[in-house]
Structure 1
Amino acid sequence: MENQNLKKETYIAEDGLLYCAKCHTPCEKVLPHPLEKGKLWRVHLMCRCEREAYEREKAEREKQEFEERVQRNRMICFHEKEMYGWTFANDDGSVPVMEKARAYVEHWEDVRKKKIGLILWGEVGTGKTFIAAAVANALLDQGFRVLMKDFTEISNISAFDADEYVRSLSSYDLLILDDLGAERTSEFAMQNVFNVVNRRWESGKPLIVTTNKTVDELKGVEDLTLKRINDRILAMCTPIYVGGSSKRRVKADENFKNLGVIFGKGGFKHE
């Protein structure tokens, strides 16, 4: 059966080689025998259609492996699945500064070479964390490794894990630290934060920080450790003001209206 199929799919051309009957390109070639001098050796050769099929399968396999790697990196990057959907595509357009975040991603190669980070600062609830997550998701989609942590978490690193944890953060293409100013202020906690920020400084890789504090407040601290932390962040990161009304308050009002519909008029009061 196999020989019959072989005869149907191939033929021997005038040069004596086997050819594919579909694409009419060689299925074998002749080489000098590796062990017997003066003797020729016929070896299999992928014809054009066989090679094209192989390349398609290879591309599909690489695409699947890439998508799986992106998904693994996304799971590592975020602590909440909801943040997987915090993307530029899902932006409601209420924060004009989002265009600067898009530009940051579009010029990522230049940004990375020049080691440029961002400080997204502004009032509570204006969308700073969403913007940072949108940048993260966009870079994750391109195959880069991104990690997003908050300052509270890194200030609480165990003394037993601190050195290894700090070293591991240097491996990411982009590190995002959320909510500067919310961390614990004990000496140990501040030293943890300094170690993370300083290691990022030494790595020469970009850093994005979000904070409710103003740039003047960051510059005006008197505590020595805080000053060292903030000085490094300001040296690495370009400040971008994120203004506007609180998205959390808007969401709360929307939820209140929805509950009013669910419970009926007069059955729900806004506290």
Structure 2
Amino acid sequence: MSDYNNAIFRLATEAEPEDYTGEDGLLYCGKCRQPKEAYFPEGKSLFGRDRHPKECDCQRKRRETLEAADRERKHREEVERLKRKGFTDPAMREWTFENDNGKCPQMHNAHSYVERWEQIKEENHGLILWGNVGTGKSYFAGCIANALMEREVSVCMTNFALILNDLAASFKDRNEYISRLCSFPLLILDDFGMERGTEYGLEQVYNVIDSRYRCGKPLIVTTNLTLEELQNPEDTPHARIYDRLSEMCTPVRFTGENFRKATAQAKMERLKTLLNRKESL
């Protein structure tokens, strides 16, 4: 038996101070009282030995703990990679269910979207999140994105202003760029309708949405446009875009207070309190 194989057996069955040899001649764990060795089937041997290492309960628990820690480490690394790749704004990382203030009446739909993701993906269900400014549309979409990334689902959340800038900067790789957007299981386009309405811009918006439509993957769009504006476009280029969106996405209206104004008002009141507070002598 080689020194290498001897080392393997020695490490596998290395005795702790409290271990002992049982009546059957095998090494036992002094803590859990389970054998750390087992005999080969009768007449069998390996490298001249009649026994092989066996996990006792203590060793199994240590191994499972280490494996669980390793899986969690790899999971966190993958989630971090997805968020670096999928978010165009680091602030989006904070748009989570855990940070939700509970004031958005539509948030239960975001939970349901994540919980039923496999079916939603298979049936290609998209959303148009529309309503007044500051009613939580982007946060709603961000919660879905973060929750799916925590499940190691690749999501891209961006906007057409950035997309158009990227396309203009990489004219030769335009098709490759759009293909990459279509590779994500879920694409979220934030603040749709805020991009410049040039002929070139509208054509590229249509190309992105049409490509997403043809690849058969879900799309979520947030917009300050009203449903009436989406259903009654001002011209043919907008009609082509809105028709595609209507085919792909179900509209969800966002109502309620303007959270941004409420936050700004609260900050202003807090500042007034701080400025008017008399310092104690």
Name the structure 2 match of 1:152. 161
The structure 2 residue matched to 1:22, chosen from 20, 27, 31, is 31
Deviations 1:1-28 (A, max 9, x none): x99x727454444555444343344434
Name the structure 2 match of 1:201. 213
1:72 aligns with 2:84: no
RMSD: 2.8
Residues 186/27 of structure 1: CA separation in 2 closer, same or farther (3 Å cut): same
Q: For structure 1, which segment, 106-115 or 124-133, has the greater mean C-alpha deviation from structure 2 after superposition?
A: 106-115
Name the structure 2 match of 1:245. 257
Distance in 1 (CA, whole Å) between partners of 2:194 and 2:100 is 26
1:139 aligns with 2:148: yes
Distance in 2 (CA, whole Å) between partners of 1:239 and 1:46 is 57
**Amino acid in structure 2 at the alignment position of 1:145:** S
Normalising by structure 1, we get a TM-score of 0.83
Distance in 2 (CA, whole Å) between partners of 1:80 and 1:7 is 53
The structure 2 residue matched to 1:211, chosen from 219, 223, 241, is 223
Name the structure 2 match of 1:232. 244
Distance in 2 (CA, whole Å) between partners of 1:51 and 1:252 is 55
The structure 2 residue matched to 1:119, chosen from 128, 139, 162, is 128
Deviations 1:200-227 (A, max 9, x none): 2222221110011122322322544432
Gaps of 5+ in 2: 1-9
Normalising by structure 2, we get a TM-score of 0.80
Give the CA deviation at 1:54: 0.7
Gaps of 5+ in 1: 266-271
Distance in 2 (CA, whole Å) between partners of 1:248 and 1:177 is 20
* Residue correspondences, number: 260
Residues 192/9 of structure 1: CA separation in 2 closer, same or farther (3 Å cut): farther
Alignment check: 8 A CA contact 1:162 1:192 kept: no
Residues 202/8 of structure 1: CA separation in 2 closer, same or farther (3 Å cut): same
**Amino acid in structure 2 at the alignment position of 1:196:** V
Q: Percent identity?
A: 40
**Amino acid in structure 2 at the alignment position of 1:260:** K
Alignment check: 8 A CA contact 1:126 1:246 kept: yes
Deviations 1:6-61 (A, max 9, x none): 27454444555444343344434426467x9xx76643333332122111100111
Give the CA deviation at 1:150: 0.9
1:106 aligns with 2:106: no
Name the structure 1 match of 2:177. 165
The structure 1 residue matched to 2:66, chosen from 36, 46, 57, is 57
